[in-house]
Amino acid sequence: MDAKESTNNTCDHFILFPSDAEHPSLSLRDLKSISSCPTTPTIDMVQAISRTNRVWSRREIEGLIADGRKIIIFGDQVLKVDTWIPYHPGGDKSILHMVGRDGTDEITALHSEEAQAYMQKLVSKDDDEIDDASSSGQSTPPSLVFDTEHTGDEVRRRRVGNDTPISRASSSEPESEQFQSVEASTAHAISSDLSKYPRLDPMSQDEVISKYRQLDEKLRSEGLYQCPYSSYAVEFIRYSTLFVLFLTCLHYSYYTLSSLFLGLFWHLLSFLVHDAGHLSITHGFHTDTCIGIFVADFIGGLSVGWWKRNHNVHHIATNSPEHDPDIQHMPFFAISPRFFGSLRSTYYDRVMPFDAAARWFIKHQHYLYYPILLMGRFNLYRLAWSYLLDPKQSPRKGSAWWHRYLEMTGQVFFWYWYGYRTLYLSIPTWSSRIAFLFISHMVTAPLHVQLTLSHFAMSSADGGVHESFAQKMVRTTMDVDCPPWLDFIHGGLNYQVVHHLFPRLPRHNLRRAQKYVKEFCEDVGIPYVIFTFTRGNQEVISRLGEVAEQLRVMEECRKVAAKDLVEGHHSH
């Protein structure tokens, strides 16, 4: 939600409702900050805001949410974001995940200071605080868009490590729960056992939240949010070297070497796109977005707009089978037996069918993991064009409306220089063209391994609406240990725990921040999972094999049950 995205809109895109359950009968209050509106308010507008600017009790807010209003807690304020959703450059899904919940830490982590300051200008200030559940940093009622209310018994069951669903309403529990006695991999066993984590009561989570925010201030005071541009000078030398090698080998008809260097070039540039998408380079929305578009679309043929929409949800609903698109790879992969129930994806707005194809792939997924990831870049092309050709997915209003058209221009340019000038004109035979195409794309597979490595082996259990942002991020993510000189190959994605806690932290500062995050985890009692790259891959393969085995056992039990049923009928 960028600060500049609604400068052409009226002030009631964000209306503040300070809430205090202790005083539900307080009267309407006058708007204190009309002058903070980016446009001159009209009489009708002032009256509309004045009528709605009042103190709300928690029960009244629950009623608004039940009526379909989009209410989000931010600090000690309550935002009504119904009319803002079409203007949000990060897509509507990330906003909908926060409806009815305390999004303070998520908003702070994912948005620039400029954006946060703009949100404050759009709300009136009030000394009253929200009710106890909100002021403590905990969620108010769970989102009626995605979540259903959970009872205390359900929360207690989660603490013993069951892979419980986030949305009870969206799935019927399959027989797979009977087969979760299969020995889990180390990472998954640690992160799924919620009894190893701080309790989910408000007092315990308040402590986690408080110390997480103290850690954020510590990183700021250490200057770790400042981008070390000298590091990008070194990165630029790497990019330039690989690009020159690609062109030189292409000119002298060393097509295999040329495709290899091009793939490595794309691989390293992907991390630059990731930096730009999180606004961690210049910290300016349009500047970093244009950097991302130039690199992703013009040079790589991918879509940074799609990536932002997808990645924002991933950072909010990490490892949630129903909600996180980064683990929704049906029919090819399933990291939880919950996918056996044909879950409905709230991101894609469709059911992920557990059909015959899915059964076959998942039974062999631990063998197919690397071969399928070799083709991962081709899938990114499909996702890019599905995003750009669907105007409902990209921002249609606000100052980011033109990003979609710039991306389309970039796509045309990419296929001109790569598809036409390189593949068609520079390579003489179709066999050489096809080889060049596949080699250049398959070389980028380590990126896809890296993207899945830090999450596939981790917990997909639901910690409930009271689990803090910080605890959820550490529980669903692991770091990859490597020597400092190899950091550029991983592009900062080896520090996924640090990155998920502080997404806007420049990647060249993540190693320095890691020691502070480890201290934080030790202080609050949250297990910090870190493995070498080799061990991490073993954990992922182990997890995929475990789920595949659960599927085999489930099908065997069904066959036995069917046989017993038939024989039982015959005996009568």
Residues 114 and 246 in one domain: no
Which residues are registered as beta bridge partners of 54?
28
pLDDT at 571: 56
Query: What pLDDT, on a 0 to 100 scale, did the predictor assign at position 214?
Result: 97
408-to-117, 310, 405 alpha-carbon distances in Å = 32, 18, 5
- Alpha helices, DSSP H only, in 461-508? 469-475, 487-490, 496-501
Same domain for 406 and 286:
yes
Q: What is the phi/psi pair of residue 237, to 5°?
A: -65, -40
Residue 244 domain-assigned (yes or no): yes
* 306 shares a domain with 389: yes
The helix (H) or strand (E) run that includes residue 216 is helix 202-221
Whether residue 394 lies inside any domain: the answer is yes
Domain assignment present for residue 266? The answer is yes
Whether the pTM exceeds 0.75: the reply is yes
User: 482 in a domain, yes or no?
Assistant: yes
* Residue 190 maps to a domain: no
| Residue burial 96-130, b: 16+ Cβ < 10 Å; e: rest | bbbbbbbbbbbbbbbbbeebeebbbebbbebeeeb
Q: Are residues 205 and 115 in the same domain?
A: no
Domain span holding position 415? 195-533
By DSSP bridging, strand 77-80 and strand 15-16 are: antiparallel
Q: Are residues 102 and 220 in the same domain?
A: no
Last residue of a domain, one of 79, 106, 121: 121
Q: Is residue 75 part of a domain?
A: yes
Q: How many independent structural domains does the chain possess?
A: 2
Q: Looking at the structure, do residues 211 and 67 belong to the same domain, yes or no?
A: no
pLDDT tens digits along 371-395: 999 999 999 999 999 999 988 887 7
pLDDT of residue 14: 33
Q: Residue 94 maps to which CATH number? A: 3.10.120.10
Please tell me the predicted confidence (pLDDT) of residue 158: 32
In this structure, the answer to whether residues 240 and 375 fall within a common structural domain is yes
Query: Element (H or E) spanning 188, and its range?
Result: helix 186-192
Q: For residues 104 and 229, state if they share a domain.
A: no
Residue numbers of the chain with a pLDDT score lower than 70: 1-56, 118-184, 568-572
Instruction: Examine residue 503 and say whether the peptide bond preceding it is cis (omega within 30 degrees of 0).
Output: no
Residues 18, 126 contacting (CB under 8 angstroms): yes
Domain boundary (105, 121, 137) is at: 121
200 and 105 fall within a common domain: no
Quote the CA–CA distance of 45 and 431 in Å, as a whole number.
66
Is the backbone of residue 563 left (phi > 0), alpha (psi -120 to 50) or beta?
alpha
323 within a domain of the structure (yes/no): yes
**121, 140, 174 - which closes a domain:** 121
115 and 211 belong to one structural domain? no
Please report whether residue 112 resides in a domain.
yes
As a whole number of angstroms, the distance between CA 464 and CA 198 comes to: 13
112 & 209 share domain: no
Q: How far apart are CA 418 and CA 544, in angstroms?
A: 35
